Amino acid sequence: MILTLLSHQWKSFWRGRNAARSLATQIFIGLLIAYLMASILFAGLATGHILNKAFPGQDTVRIFCGFVLYYFFIDILLRFAMQELPVLTIVPYLGQNIRRRQMVSFLNIRSLFHFLNLMPLLFFAPFACTDMAVHSGKLAAAAFITAIVFIMLFNNFLILYVKRRTIINVWWLVGFAVVMIGIMTLDFFHIISLSGWSSKLFVALLAKPILAIVPVVLGLAAWFNNYRFLLTNLYLDEGARSEKEKSSREYSWLQQLGLTGELIALEIKLMLRNKRPKYIVRLSALFMFYGFVFYNKHYLSDQSMYIILFFPALFLTGIFIMNYGQFLFAWHSSFFDGLMASNISIPAFIRSKFMLYNAISTTIFIITSFYGLITWKILVIQAAGFLYNIGVNSVISIYLATFSYKAIDLSRSATFNYQGIGTVQWVYALIIILVPYAIYYPLAKFVSPWAACAVIGGLGLISLLMQSYWVEVLTREFQRRKYLMLAGFREK
């Protein structure tokens, strides 16, 4: 029975909407995953060598053992962020003649299919099989691998349990955060030493392989605990988050802008109240710190580096257009029918998109202007990038968005979510970054960076002044592909 359920999961993975993406995307993701796994495996294989080089003459196995607890500590944090609770997958089965025990076992086994459960094996097993086996014997290495597998299981089920608890009672989340931050702080100030404990524990394990029984017991206990909890809590309504009261909000400052303001308010609510766009907004905010990577003395002292500095300037000021803009209309896919049948004219709709870009990009520009405190030159480059972004890239963004016919489910989380991504999105990223760079680069290289800034900024400004003309053009383009968008968005 559990096998049947797992085979359904397999089908749902391949037949799900996420799988129905273009071949190019599939190949890309496939390569990405293969690359990641190969990197980890390679890191695992090279560890012995690297440690020998870094700590010559020292006991590499002991040092290696010092890493293990760190790894599993980070593993816990990663799991908390990434591992999803496969609860909803059982909804269709609850009414069928399947025993609860089987369903719970299925949920537990299902949770094991996660790349975080593959990583430790890829990383630790090579070292264990080579250096460790030579150093402490095959039996010890086998005990080590056993311990790794069961600590991994322990983490897996512990986190599932904690996450389920936090859904029901938010204090679990607070407790979890306190414990984690506590450990980090204590370790940071050397009050406790994770690496010290780690090497002590695992060196002891290698000396006495029978000690592997401890992690085995821990892993099984975590599994059993989760099993027992699920068995008594397999009710739908309890799994659902205790809903917070939702209240209406009005942005009075936007209402003065009339219909445009109303549409922007709609867009802001879309960003704040839905999982995936919210993630994009947070990401955009985070990227504002990107400047610290590039704007340092090393780069700024060298005149020729201003050729490269245009990249972060363009990126910083256009981050919102780049990220949010790739699904500009697709964000509305769940109610696009209603939007198009309602009393909103297409030009007004397009105009509101321009306003949104202008408003948010200006805000970002003002905030990132603080980088100007480092040197005024940054300000000049960023101003050029900003003008180009709201002048030219905004038009390109809206134009390309009319070619995006794939629906987006707002409520799905954004990590590794390739729903709605097609050829257009790849083209989009390229055009928005490469075209201005192609203009900037030769000018900056052969004339001067300032001339290049002037040209880029000038182009942006001219295009910005033409915005009402662009609205006409884009309205025509929008009308031309409106039915394709409508049909695409309806296919959920």
Partner 1 sequence: MITITDITKSYNGNTVVNIPQLEIATGEIVGLVGNNGAGKTTLFRLMLDLIRADKGQILSKEKNVAASEDWKNYTAAYLDEGFLINYLTPEEYFYFVGKLHQLSRVDVDEFLQRFEAFFDGSILNSGKYIRDLSKGNQFKVGIAACLLQKPELLILDEPFANLDPSSQMRLIKMLKELPAQSRMTVFISSHDLNHVTEVCHRILLMEKGRIIKDIDTTADTLQELEMYFEV
**Which of 3, 188, 250, 256 touches partner 1 by CB under 8 A?**
250
**Which of 43, 211, 340, 461 touches partner 1 by CB under 8 A?**
340
- What sign for the dihedral angle of Cα 146, 152, 156, 161? positive
Identify the CA nearest to 203 among candidates 151, 143, 155. 143
Of the listed pieces 134-142, 184-192, 344-352, 438-446, which binds partner 1 according to CB under 8 A?
344-352
What are the C-alpha distances in Å from 90 to residues 14, 16, 94, 308?
18, 16, 6, 52
Answer yes or no: are the C-beta atoms of 452 and 440 closer than 8 Å: yes
Q: Within 205-224, which residues bind partner 1 (CB under 8 A)?
A: none
Distance (Å, whole) CA 397 – CA 428: 7
317 binds partner 1 (CB under 8 A): no
User: At closest approach, how far in Å is the CB of 42 from partner 1?
Assistant: 44
247 binds partner 1 (CB under 8 A): yes
| Between 96 and 342, CB nearer to partner 1 | 342
**Which of 121, 344, 439, 459 touches partner 1 by CB under 8 A?**
344
What does the block give as tokens for 154?
Answer: 């322990």
281 binds partner 1 (CB under 8 A): no
483 binds partner 1 (CB under 8 A): yes
410 binds partner 1 (CB under 8 A): yes
Identify the CA nearest to 420 among candidates 17, 29, 82, 24. 17
Identify the CA nearest to 83 among candidates 171, 170, 158. 158
487 binds partner 1 (CB under 8 A): yes
CA–chain centroid gap for 435, Å, is: 26
What does the block give as tokens for 334?
Answer: 């769940």
**Which of 25, 102, 233, 334 touches partner 1 by CB under 8 A?**
334
| Between 49 and 476, CB nearer to partner 1 | 476
292 binds partner 1 (CB under 8 A): no
CA–chain centroid gap for 143, Å, is: 36
What does the block give as tokens for 101?
Answer: 């025990």
**Which of 29, 142, 257, 270 touches partner 1 by CB under 8 A?**
270
User: At closest approach, how far in Å is the CB of 273 from partner 1?
Assistant: 4
DSSP assignment letter at 96: S
**Which of 108, 274, 352, 368 touches partner 1 by CB under 8 A?**
274
Amino acid, res. 405: Y
421 binds partner 1 (CB under 8 A): no
Interface residues with partner 1 (CB under 8 A)? 243, 245-250, 259, 262, 266, 269-270, 273-274, 334-346, 410-411, 483, 486-487, 490
